[in-house]
Every structure is written in C-alpha cells, then in structure tokens.
Amino acid sequence: MQYFFKSRGFSQISLPLLLLIFTLNSSAQNIPLGQKELVSHLNEELSGESAKRNLEFISRQHRMRGSEGYTTAINFVSDKLKEYNLESIEMIKIPTDGKTMYGTQKARLAWDVDFAELWEQQDKNGDWVNVEKIADWESIPLIVAQDSHSGNIEAELVDIGKGNSESDYVDKDVKGKLVLTSLQPSAIVPLAIKKYGAVGILSYAQNQVTAWYKENDNLIRWGHLDSFSETKTFGFMLSLKQARGFQNRLKSGETIRLHAKVKAGRHAGFYDILTAIIEGSDENLKKEEVAFTCHLDHPRPGANDNASGCVAILEVARTLKKLIDEGKIERPKRTIRFIWSPEIEGTTSLLNFKPEYAKNIKANIHMDMVGGSPETKAIFHVSKSPQSLPNFVNDIAESFGAFLNRQSDDYASGVNSIFPIVSEEGGKEALHAVLGNFHMGSDFQVFAEGSFSIPAIYLHDWPDRYIHTNYDTPSMIDPTKLKRSSFIGAASAYTIANFDSNDVNNLIAIQKRQVLKRLADLLSYCELLPPDEQENAKLYFWEYEMAAFHSIAFFANVLKAQEKEYTSFISSLKSSVGSGKSKNISHKKANVVYSRNMNVKGPLSVFGYNYFFDHYDKNKPRPKIYNFSGIKGSSGEYTYETLNLVNGRRSALEIRNQLSAEFGPIPFEIVIEYLEALESIDIINPK
C-alpha cells in the first residue's frame, strides 16, 4: 500500500486526507446536483436514432464555407428548428469579401466547385484520349483541394517527393506539368507552381498522426490551398495506394499523361450562421445565455467531423423544448442558445460582428466530433477551459461525465444501472470519457480566448482514425454515443442555466471531489519537474482552484459560511502537500506588465488565416515559441495561453510561471521574446 501511494504521487498526503478522498469518491455515485428528475427525463426523450437520421442528410452535403452544399445543410437545420418549435430562429449573414477583418479573422471568400475529374490518357493514333478515370468530384468531393481554381490541363506527371525544398527539383523539369507531392498542396505552391511553372498538383498528403497513421492506404485526405494566395492553381487529392501506383510506374521509366479538369473558384459571399433559443423565464437573468455551438462546415461526408456535433445540439434543442412544452421540466431561468456556423472563422466573426453575443453568453458548450463508434477508435473527452479561465461550469460538465462513465460501465459489465443512456440501435459499450483536460482545436477556443473570456466546455472525440477523410461516413457513427454526448451537454446546460444560490452547497461538494482528482494529477505531474518548478506548479494550482470557486459569485450568492468552509478545505490540503511559491528569475524585463489591445479580438491563429504572421515583420525570424513544446503543451497551446494571460496585471515573469505550471517549464527568454513580438504588432502594449 505504501508503494502504491508513493508511485501514484500520494507520498505527501496524510492518512486523514486519504480517508477524506475515499469518502468523497464513494459519495460521487450520486446524480450530480441532485438532478435525478432531469436525468430521468433526458434519458427517456433524447434519441440517438433521431440524431443519426439528421446526420445522414447533413453528411450528404459538401458543406464548404459559403457553398451551395453548406446552404442546403443549414436550411435543413433551420427547417428542423421550426419543426421542433424553437424560438427566435435567425439566419445571420456576415459578408465575406476576402478583405474585411472581423477581429483577428480576415473574411475568406466563399468557395464552390461545379465539376472536377482526373483522367489518365493514352495515345491512340496520334491523339491523346481519356481512358481511365482516376477521380471525380461528383463521387468523392474530397478529391478536390479546398480553394482550388478552375483549370483544364493535359500534361505529364512528375513525382517531386515533398516538393517544398529546392533539392526536390534538381534534374526535374516540371514546367507545364502536373506534380505529385506527399505534402498538402498549399505547401508546394511557392516553388512548384510559382517558381518552376507546374500547372497543377496531385497530393497524397496523409492524415493526422495517430496510432493508425498510414494504416489504410485507401484513405483520401482533405486537401487545402491558401485562401488568400494570388497564385491560382488546383489540387487533386489521391489515396496513398493510388500515389504508390503512379510512383512505381514513373520509377520504371513510364510516362504518365493525365487530363485534369476543374470548374471551381472563390467568390464574395457570406458566413451564414444559424441561431435559435429557448428563452429564459427569469426577467432578471434571461439576458444571460448558455450557448451551444458546433461547426457545420466540412467536406462531404464529414459525419463525425462535424455533422455529429451539429445533430447533437439539434437533438438537445428538440429534447429540452419538448420537455418544457410538455411541462415535464421548467423553462430555464437563463436563455439557452444554439448556434451553427463555419468552424472558428464563423465564431470569431460572429462575436465581433455582433458583440452583444459576447456580452450575453456566460458559458459555452461546444460539440465537435461526438458520435464516433468503436470502429473509429475514438476516445470521448469532456474537456475544460484553459488555466487562464478558471470556472465552476467545467466541474458541472465533468461531474455529469463521471456519472455517465459509472452508469455505462456498470451497464456494460452486467451490473444494475439506472441510467446507462443507451439507444436501441446503438452500442452498449461503456463510455470511458476522459475528463478535465484542456485541448485546443475548435470553436470553443474562440469563446475562451482572453479578449472574450467566456468559460467553455468542449465535448469531442480524439483520436479518430478517419477524421478529414472519405471514410468519415455515417456508418461510423453510433446512436448511443450521440445520445450520451447530447445527455452530457443537455444536463450541463440546463443545470448552468438554472444555477442559483440553492445549488451552491451541492456544487461545493462537487468541487471538493474535483480538487482532489486534480490534486492527484498535480502530484504525478510534479514528479516530472525539478523542485523549484514543483513549487511553482503548486502555487498556480491553488490559485486556479480558489478562482474557480470564486467564479460561482457570477451566477449566485455565496454565503460567508460557505466560503469559509471551502477555504478551510483548501487550507487543509495545502498543509499536506504545500502551498508552493513562484519561481524567481532575475531578468531586467521580468516585471514588465502588458495590457491587451481590446480593439482586436479573437485568437491569433484562426481558420485559413494567421493574424500574427500576416502582421509580423517578414524579415524577422519566427519567435522561438513557435518551435517549443513542453511536457504537457504544444507550441500552439503556449502561444494561445500566453496571450490569454495578458490582462494588465500579470508581469511577464508571472505569465512565464503560469505557462510553466500549466504546460511544462519554458525559458523566460522565449516568453519575453514572444510578448515583445505581440507588442510589435500592437496586440499588446506595456503599461
């Protein structure tokens, strides 16, 4: 037993504290916040089958931004909202002209494809004729790289390997020819197309790296060209199997001639964003909103990514409104809003185009990839806001996730389970959701970004071996998974929308359990750190926990006795594991304090556009932070959170220390270099 506790990071915890942990964990079998009636009604009404039927329609549409397919899909959702009797249904149209800035997002032109085919040719009696179709847009729209332009080319094929280095073109003549690359089409345009005169691209870029990377050589990956490039070209996406076939033939000395025809292009359009509400009942609170979001745009089929999130929040809307209309549950005190938009760029544009949304939304529940069956190898996550935005709403979502983990595990194991949340046509596996981590990757990070600071709950699958490929089909979607993700979202949203002073005691019990869970994780993490960084991590851990508790005051009155009880609880934990202290670094700029330029709102890296690199001096080297990764964080997480932590009060050293506590130690020199780079583009300014 002693070895177990030490190996798990418990060596610093006293026996009374361990007993407290086990006591709180045993009480965790209760339904969160005493919401048994709500849970029962949601279990009865939510339908994974209904959600999947809606998904099957949406997945048939090629839903690129501003396209006809996107319009068909969003009109379908709008009609369903009317059928489900939702309120204040509105289509918000935000103009996109390729120039207008909405905060940090430059509005990308709409993009449509009318036709695309790729044929192999043979010489017959002196004429080149099409003899074998390689790919066509009508069958698999993913074969056309996003933002391709029209072209009608008959040319030989040249294999350029990666194609992003001068060495790839040695002894190769690509002028007037089609090129085969292993990279995304956008990566080779500067050399292959602009410099050396190739006339089109064939790419077999592989999918995101997971354990199943390159396992299926029939997958066709979603391809991209630069939305703002002045160099007009087109790209076809091939499977690894097709590319290998071409490569083997080329290596043997065979000449391959292809006919590529594309009718496509960009044009002025709109970000079409659909929204509807269930209006709150409390006159004093109904202007406050809990917002469900998802992203509707994606190439066909895009079933898990992200037709699943779109139909999950649609099912939540249907279920809650029906239960309210039937008198089974009360109308929530706060308004619940539902939003369908293009991923990240739509959300960034919306919060800037209609700032009242950013003002009124008090919590966000984002669903992106929430229906993957076991075939996708997906692991479901209930993720939280970054450390820069501590809030109790994450504890509510995680408590419902933990409850469903236990219920579904008991059910799958043959143990009596009251609420396993299972669909008749779906699977019976346990959920095994991962709770409480921070992940980037979708619209929630816009809400949680420091210029908006809206706490966000992120429900998502990762990994998914078919993401961004032609295999992301409805056959890979599990109705039970759709029902369960909808349940966690609906239960969390309704609870947050109704939260008041009567719920504080129950929430404190939940927060105590969550603190203990996170404390165990912290102690394990500390084993990877040097002593001074361990103390730094502990300091910011306790700051986070107290700030999360104090966030309750934005929703309800907290009695002094309740605050005293919780503070005493935290103090007892501190006495066991230590309070921690900040890491001291001697540097002339350690005490510089920066404030955020609130005239430019949104994350710097959005969709198809990077505000930082568009404004940063092109003659200067990239800040080192863009190549830095830590124990728990990527370069993208470090850059995102650095800006979030700029609030006019924290010093540069405090920002460095909090980043190190969250993601792993980072040199102060790297942080201050990035802060000064942000200052150079007027995103932040020293006080």
Contacts of 5 (CB under 8 A, 6+ apart): 11, 13, 18
Q: Is 582 within the bounds of a domain?
A: no
Tokens describing residue 28: 């965790």
The three-point CA angle 382-386-387 to 5° equals: 120
pTM above 0.75, yes or no: yes
* Cis ω before 531 (30° cut-off from 0): no
Which residue in this structure is represented by tokens 């003659």?
619
**Residues 262, 220 share a domain:** yes
- The 10s digit of each residue's pLDDT in 28-60 is 457 898 899 999 999 999 999 999 999 999 999
In a domain, 586, yes or no: no
**Average pLDDT of the residues in 607-627:** 96
Under a CB-based contact definition with an 8 Å cutoff, are residues 35 and 502 in contact? no
Asked whether residue 660 is domain-assigned, the answer is yes
Q: Please count the structural domains in the chain.
A: 4
Give the ranges where 383-451 is alpha helix by DSSP (H).
393-412, 444-448
Diameter of the chain measured on Cα atoms: 94
Residue finishing a domain among 447, 466, 499: 499
Residues 254 and 295 in one domain: no
Give the Cα separation of 345 and 270 in Å (integer). 12
Round to whole Å and give the CA distance between 371 and 249.
41
Q: What is the three-class DSSP state of 687? A: coil
Residue 18 pLDDT level (bands cut at 50, 70, 90): low
Give the residue numbers spanning the domain of 274: 32-107+269-499
R_g of the chain computed on alpha carbons = 26
Per-residue pLDDT of 635-650, as tens digits, reads 999 999 999 999 999 9
CATH of the domain at 181: 3.50.30.30
Angle between helices 68-83 and 308-325 (to 10 degrees): 20
Asked if residue 438 and residue 462 are part of one domain, the reply reads yes
Are the CB atoms for 39 and 31 separated by under 8 Å? Answer: yes
**Are 360 and 470 within one domain?**
yes
Distances in whole angstroms, Cα of residue 302 to Cα of each of 264, 307, 361: 20, 6, 28
Residue 179: Cβ-neighbour burial (10 angstroms; 0-12, 13-18, 19+)? buried
In a domain? residue 293: yes
Considering the domain boundaries, does residue 429 fall inside one?
Answer: yes
Residue 346 domain-assigned? yes
| Helices 479-498, 36-45: inter-axial angle, 10-degree rounding | 140
Q: Does 168 share its domain with 38?
A: no
Range 439-443 average pLDDT: 94
Is 587 domain-assigned? Answer: no
| One-letter identity of residue 336 | I
> How many Å apart are CA 143 and CA 239, to the nearest integer?
9
The helix/strand/coil state of 524 is: helix
406 with 536, same domain: the answer is: no
**Strand ranges inside 85-244, DSSP E:** 87-96, 101-102, 105-106, 110-124, 127-136, 151-159, 178-181, 200-203, 235-237
Instruction: Compute the distance between CA of residue 297 and CA of residue 306 in angstroms, rounded to an integer.
Output: 8
Are 566 and 599 in a shared domain? no
**Rounded CA gap, 117 and 119, in Å?**
7
- Spatial separation of the C-alpha atoms in residues 95 and 98, rounded to whole Å: 9
SS3 of 160, please? coil
Q: How far apart are CA 33 and CA 15, in angstroms?
A: 28
Give per-residue pLDDT as tens, 99-122: 999 999 999 999 999 999 999 999
Helical H segments across 377-478, by residue range: 393-412, 444-448
Q: How many angstroms separate the CA atoms of 333 and 335, rounded? A: 7
pLDDT of residue 607: 84
- Residue 585 covered by a domain: no
The 3-state secondary structure of 615-659 reads HCCCCCCCCHHHHCCCCCCCHHHHHHHHHHCCCCCCEHHHHHHHH
In terms of pLDDT, which residue wins out, 29 or 442?
Answer: 442
pLDDT in tens, 517-561: 999 999 999 999 999 999 999 999 999 999 999 999 999 999 999
Q: What is the pLDDT of residue 126?
A: 87
Short-list 77, 71, 101, 97, CA closest to 606 = 101
Q: Which of 267, 298, 326 represents a domain boundary (last residue)?
A: 267
Write out pLDDT tens, residues 111-161.
Answer: 999 999 999 999 998 899 999 999 999 999 999 999 999 999 999 999 999
The pLDDT value given to residue 22: 47
Question: Do both 483 and 400 map to the same domain?
Answer: yes
pLDDT of residue 177 exceeding 80, the answer is yes
**Which of 223, 239, 267 is the endpoint of a domain?**
267
Q: In whole angstroms, what is the distance from residue 336 CA to residue 602 CA?
A: 23
* Three-state secondary structure call for residue 55: helix
Length of the chain: 687
User: Same structural domain for residues 295 and 441?
Assistant: yes
